[in-house]
Amino acid sequence: MLDLLLFSNSTNANRSYLDHARDEVAQFLEGVTEVIFVPYALQDHDTYTAKVAEALAAHGMSTRGLHTFDSPEYELAEAHAVFVGGGNTFRLVSQLHRQGLMDPLRTAALSGTRYMGASAGTNIASPTLRTTNDMPIVEPPSFSTLGLVPFQINPHYLDAVPGSTHAGETRETRLSEFLEENDVPVLGLREGAHLRVTGTAGEPNFTAMVGGTAVTPGLGPAITFLKGTLPRETAGDISALFEVPARFDAGLSGPGQDGPVL
């Protein structure tokens, strides 16, 4: 049973933290009095937690940082809602693995604990961090992440700018390179967009919806990449992506060390 709210970004230009998603956050966390915040994607955990606490206080709830607890595994098991903030995905994944918290966080989310993520916190809802945009400032023990969804997500998806003189790789190029080595769908979430998932895949109550308003005028909330096909604009129901088989390291014999065959 999943209850996920995954944002591409936590802050739109000229808006305060989570302000662009005020309605979605309020609806998702309705009835929750305390949120456990996972601040490991940034270095200063206390300052980061205070920033999130200020934003969520506007919704009438308190926030406590996971780093403040003597038994974070227990707190994850008891939490009604968890929010994993953005920052550097490699640092976040490294900390979760090294502190033994990746499995407890996965177990909580799969058991129905409300899971909210932004940027790096959305990245790790995928099976691996391989489609992050972040620089590998640290080396995590594994690229494996939560696998709450069976496909990859690329938050902050940026479209090529028409007429730009930039001659380097575009985001589309980089994700196409990923698909040269892997046969796994990739959902590119544009700034301002989110993915909402409820229920259990394959059951009648299951929903997976892409929504929000992209900050770039004229563009939809998301774009989907599938191996061997052109990227397609995406909005609304994406439940079909939960039925697409995923093969990591598809050109090699057997599953890759950091990506399970799903």
Catalytic annotation, pick one of 10, 126, 134, 144: 134
Q: What is the spatial distance between Cα 64 and Cα 83, in angstroms, rounded to a whole number?
A: 10
Determine whether 44 is an active site residue. no
- Which residue blocks in 69-170 are alpha helix, DSSP H? 72-78, 89-98, 102-110, 120-123
Q: What is the spatial distance between Cα 79 and Cα 50, in angstroms, rounded to a whole number?
A: 19
Determine whether 237 is an active site residue. no
Catalytic annotation, pick one of 119, 126, 183, 194: 119
Q: What is the spatial distance between Cα 200 and Cα 152, in angstroms, rounded to a whole number?
A: 18
In 3D space, the residue among 58, 131, 57 whose CA is nearest the CA of residue 90 turns out to be: 131
Catalytic annotation, pick one of 20, 156, 183, 194: 156
Q: What is the spatial distance between Cα 124 and Cα 184, in angstroms, rounded to a whole number?
A: 15
Determine whether 156 is an active site residue. yes
Token couple for 192: 């301002």
List, by residue number, the catalytic residues.
Answer: 119, 134, 156
